[in-house]
Amino acid sequence: MIILIVDDNKFFIERMIGLLEEAEGIGYINVAHDYDEAYNCLNQERPDLVLLDINLPGKNGIDLLREIKQSDIKCSVVMISNHDNEYYRQRCKLLGAEYFLEKSTDFGMVPSIINEVYTA
């Protein structure tokens, strides 16, 4: 399984990589810090799962989610953000995000989500 983490917070990325390195079935973890870098990674690497923040330099994660779901890239998207309110949850769900997690409280759910995606 190829995973792409899209976030501009280096501390969060380090924590996520540490968590993912303990999960089974992960072949490769790629990181992008902004919309353009993520877009290039999506088209080159074709990840199975994208962990995507809403706040990104340049265009935001919601724009990238829309782009992913309108493209021929077949991957699951987990929105993982500090913007945990109903507006963002509904917006991301309508655009096709499979999951929406709050960064600080739902962080530990990522391995079980990966397991669901990996075994599906």
55 lies in some domain:
yes
- Residue 118 domain-assigned? no
CB proximity list for 22: less than 8 A, separation 6 or greater? 111
Decide if 58 is inside a domain: yes
Task: Please state the domain count of the chain.
Answer: 1
pLDDT 10s digits, 16-49? 999 888 777 788 999 999 999 999 999 898 999 9
- Residue 84 included in any domain: yes
Supply φ then ψ for residue 53, to 5 degrees: -85, 155
How buried is 73 (Cβ within 10 angstroms: 0-12 exposed, 13-18 middle, 19+ buried)? middle
Can you give the CATH number for the domain in which 106 is found? 3.40.50.2300
pLDDT for position 95: 96
Residue 72 lies in a domain: yes
pLDDT confidence tier of residue 107, bands split at 50, 70 and 90: confident
Query: What beta strand segments (E) does 11-75 contain?
Result: 28-32, 49-52
* Virtual torsion, Cα 57, 97, 22, 1, nearest 10 deg: -100
Tell me the residue range of the domain where 95 lies. 7-112
pLDDT digits (tens, 9 = 90+) for 64-87: 999 999 998 889 999 998 877 899
